[in-house]
Amino acid sequence: MNRVVRGSDGREWTIRANLEWSNPIVVDEFEHDVNGGNAPAIVVGAALAALVVVFVAWTPAEVIIPAWLILVFVAAILFFPVRWVLHRPWTLTASTPGDADENPPETWVGVVRGFIEVRTEVSQVARHIELYAEPDMNGRLQPTE
């Protein structure tokens, strides 16, 4: 997701949002970041799939399985993967090459979780750049060197 915004001082800013497939380690969260990898998710998914297969295989031929029950099984199987994708962290980057005058190049970086939060944050950063010529110092984006 890319967006180009012109700041109030005339500089052109590029706001990028990139989906992160692994959790970025933040200094404040380092001691609490315990990641078991993707093995537990694979084991639980395989166990759930095996239970569904056994349930279907042991069902007598005379039993009619309603369509809504199949939809419930599909929803149960897809719930956690979809939730995982929707709550992935996104890295937001707002950068400008600067200009020929006194404004140097700048890059601001931050992390946001969730697709809807990313869209909201990109809109807020873009609006703040349009009004004040740079992202909000008290917002989620922080300047880098």
* Sequence ranges of the domains in the chain: 2-21+88-144, 31-86
State the pTM of this model. Answer: 0.70
Cα–Cα distance, 19 to 91 (Å, whole number): 7
Spatial distance between the Cα atoms of 55 and 2, rounded to a whole number of angstroms = 46
Helices (H), the chain: 39-57, 67-86, 115-132
User: What is the CB neighbour count within 10 angstroms for residue 53?
Assistant: 10
- 55-67 pLDDT, tens per residue? 888 989 898 889 9
State the DSSP code for 140: S
Q: What is the pLDDT of residues 70-82, one digit of tens each?
A: 899 889 888 988 8
Instruction: Provide, for the chain, the percentages of residues in helix, strand and coil under a 3-state DSSP scheme, each rounded to the nearest 5.
Output: 45, 20, 35
